[in-house]
Amino acid sequence: MASVDVGDLVLCGDKSPKHAQLFEAIRTKIVSGMWRNRAQLPSTRALAEEMDLSRNTVISAYEQLVAEGYVESRRGAGYYVAVTLPERFIDAKVAPKLLNRAVKTAPLNGAFSPGVPDLEQFPNAKWQRFITLHSSRSSLLGNQSRQGYLPLRETLSDYLSSSRSVRCDPRRIVITSGAQQALSIALLATLERQDKVLMEQPGYAQMTKVIEILGYQLEPVEVIAGQGFDIQRVFNSDAKALYITPSNQYPMGTTLNTEQRLELIEWAKQRGSWIIEDDYDSEFQFAHRPYTSLQGLAANIGLDERVIYVGSFSKTLFNGLRLGYMVVPESLIEPCLALKNILSGDSPTHTQAALSDFIVEGEFLRHVRKMRRLYKHKHQAMLAAIKHEFGDDIDVISQAAGLHITLKWQQGIDERTWVELAAKQNIVLRPLSYYESSLAPARDWHGVVLGFGNAALSQIEPLMAQLAKIFYQHRT
């Protein structure tokens, strides 16, 4: 851990002795989290010089910090922050910020954190080979195409057309920083402020945030547990865009059949509206062959001019890659590129070049196939463990696909209580309410989402047993 930078440390200048003022100033830095646990403090001599204090003043303040447990002194090595923010140190002014941070950084990728693939299984050595190969290419160091590395767009175009029947060519693909950036660009390129966007409820919370912050109006479309998207609601709407996850509705895990997809395409044509298709995890269908993408269907009848197709490598490879893509109609290429330029400029080129080779050399498909088999096993293990632990008390409402399972129950623990108590045991669950905007229809049942992607197969049953213990201890 690095040394702290004294930065703006100042004494309050009140009537108390200098060493007490220094103690308080350092204590505040520590409890507010600005000086991190295990970071090294400046030597007493250096701090005395920097703050124009006597060395004795600094020694005295440090000794007090040691005595009160904020700092530890290591013989011959100096002084180190020794506080991981126990609650009793949290000062009321900074508490909400710190607590938020604590919740978000808990076990971000642990079991059953939704949306995380099996990180242990990623073929790191092979990936490293491609990264190393490209990292010494000085031609990649300068500014690059904001649309994305051309060989990557070429290989991606082949993959999307062969595996998802997406109608595309490299000119129509824009490489983005995850699907997240593609979603913002899609809205900004097609809508005016205050325009209405239809969105599934419950739905992808990251999209709700984009709609709200960009000043569009969210028009909710209910997704009914086990049945699916209320398509009639769309026909009656004059919204300018529809955001949808047709192949594995997130998070309810339903799909739209071909007829429903065609009806949506027809609606978009008649109203002159846009469809933003988020095809985030179609590689992982366990029960049947995946449906053709909505964009591909639209192209077959010459109507893909109204569809923006969005995808991501977060599930197939790993989230930290931060690479996604959008396939846009001809008319949107230039507006999307202008927006990409404004939002981030080009995307990291070495990573794109490595990814392009990774796909061309067959490593991508090999990995996806292997992971499809593994996730299918994990999914089965989840179903078995849920049945074993909860019997008929809980229903699984999501289809056999993707990296998550959605649960529903009527009688029992409140969903938020379950989530909070599980978090204390380092198990991550998402309450269904997390995916609902304030406009979502009311619900008289509880739900949670469990991601099994990054949960070890052998851990699934014991973790479920832990969850069951909490569930039954807190039945209402």
Ligand X SMILES: Cc1ncc(COP(=O)(O)O)c(C=O)c1O
Q: Please state the three-class secondary structure of 34-75 as a single string.
A: CCCCCCECCCHHHHHHHHCCCHHHHHHHHHHHHHCCCEEEEC
Nearest to 249 by CA among 210, 286, 222: 222
Least separation in angstroms between CB 278 and ligand X: 5
Using the rule CB under 6 A, is 406 a contact of ligand X? Answer: no
Using the rule CB under 6 A, is 319 a contact of ligand X? Answer: yes
By CB atoms closer than 10 A (0-12, 13-18, 19+), residue 397 is: buried
Least separation in angstroms between CB 178 and ligand X: 3
The amino acid that residue 161 corresponds to is S
Least separation in angstroms between CB 126 and ligand X: 22
Q: Which parts of 211-250 interact with ligand X (CB under 6 A)?
A: 245, 250
Using the rule CB under 6 A, is 324 a contact of ligand X? Answer: yes
* 342 phi/psi in degrees, rounded to 5: -70, -40
Per-residue CA distances from 126 to 48, 121, 363, 462 (Å): 51, 12, 8, 33
How far out from the chain centre does Cα 350 lie?
23
Stretch that binds ligand X, among 81-89, 154-162, 175-183, 252-260 (CB under 6 A): 175-183
Residue 323 DSSP symbol: -
Q: Looking at 62, 280, 325, 435, which residue binds ligand X (CB under 6 A)? A: 280
> Rounded distance, CA 52 to CA 362, Å?
63
Q: Please state the three-class secondary structure of 202-258 as a single string.
A: CCCHHHHHHHHHCCCEEEEEEEECCCEECHHHHHCCCCCEEEECCCCCCCCCCCCCH
Least separation in angstroms between CB 250 and ligand X: 4
Residue 383 DSSP symbol: H
Using the rule CB under 6 A, is 415 a contact of ligand X? Answer: no
Q: Looking at 42, 178, 290, 296, which residue binds ligand X (CB under 6 A)? A: 178
Task: State which residue has the least CB distance to ligand X.
Answer: 178
Least separation in angstroms between CB 458 and ligand X: 24
Beta strands in 107-203 (DSSP E): 173-176, 196-201
Q: Looking at 35, 127, 204, 243, which residue binds ligand X (CB under 6 A)? A: 204
Closer residue to ligand X in complex, CB, 311/329: 311
Least separation in angstroms between CB 209 and ligand X: 12
| List of residues 6+ apart from 5 with CB closer than 8 A | none
Q: Looking at 44, 255, 314, 347, which residue binds ligand X (CB under 6 A)? A: 314
Q: Which parts of 112-171 interact with ligand X (CB under 6 A)?
A: 115
Least separation in angstroms between CB 183 and ligand X: 8
Least separation in angstroms between CB 175 and ligand X: 12
Q: Looking at 312, 349, 399, 454, which residue binds ligand X (CB under 6 A)? A: 312
Using the rule CB under 6 A, is 375 a contact of ligand X? Answer: no
According to DSSP, the residues that pair with 5 across neighbouring strands are none
Bridge-based pairing of strands 395-396 and 404-409 is: antiparallel
Stretch that binds ligand X, among 25-33, 47-55, 178-186, 339-347 (CB under 6 A): 178-186
Q: Looking at 118, 278, 304, 389, which residue binds ligand X (CB under 6 A)? A: 278
Neighbours of 224 (CB within 10 A): 12
Q: How many residues bind to ligand X according to rule CB under 6 A?
A: 13
Least separation in angstroms between CB 314 and ligand X: 3
Stretch that binds ligand X, among 17-25, 40-48, 70-78, 173-181 (CB under 6 A): 173-181
Residue 1 DSSP symbol: -
Binding site for ligand X (CB under 6 A): 115, 178-180, 204, 245, 250, 278, 280, 312, 314, 319, 324
